[in-house]
Amino acid sequence: MTHDASNQSEEATFVEFRRKVRSAEVLSLAMEKLLWSIHFTGKVSIVVQNGRVLKSGYEEGYFRQQASI
């Protein structure tokens, strides 16, 4: 996999992460795998009332690992 293809894959994964946060899909194993794959180090939060997710969001803490040259 080339460096550009790797970056595109990582960017696509991050876009999927943001979509899941916006759609309140933060309590799934798939979400955990996404967080691990993009090396997310921020905070993901949800607000639940009466068993329903009212709001979800995240604080930036996403850091890409720099490739060694």
Percent of the chain topping pLDDT 90: 0
Query: pLDDT confidence of 64, banded at 50, 70, 90?
Result: low
> Apex CA 35: angle with CA 32 and CA 39, to 5°?
145
- Written in H, E and C, the secondary structure of the chain is CCHHHHHHHHHHHHHHHHHHHHCCCCCCHHHHHHHHHCCECCEEEEEEECCEEEEEEEECCECCCCCCC
Q: Which pLDDT score, from 0 to 100, does residue 7 have?
A: 79
For the beta carbon of residue 63, count every other beta carbon within 10 angstroms. 11
pLDDT at 26 over 60: yes
pTM score over 0.85: no
Give the C-alpha distances (Å, rounded to integers) separating 22 from 31, 40, 58: 12, 16, 9
pLDDT in tens, 54-63: 888 888 765 5
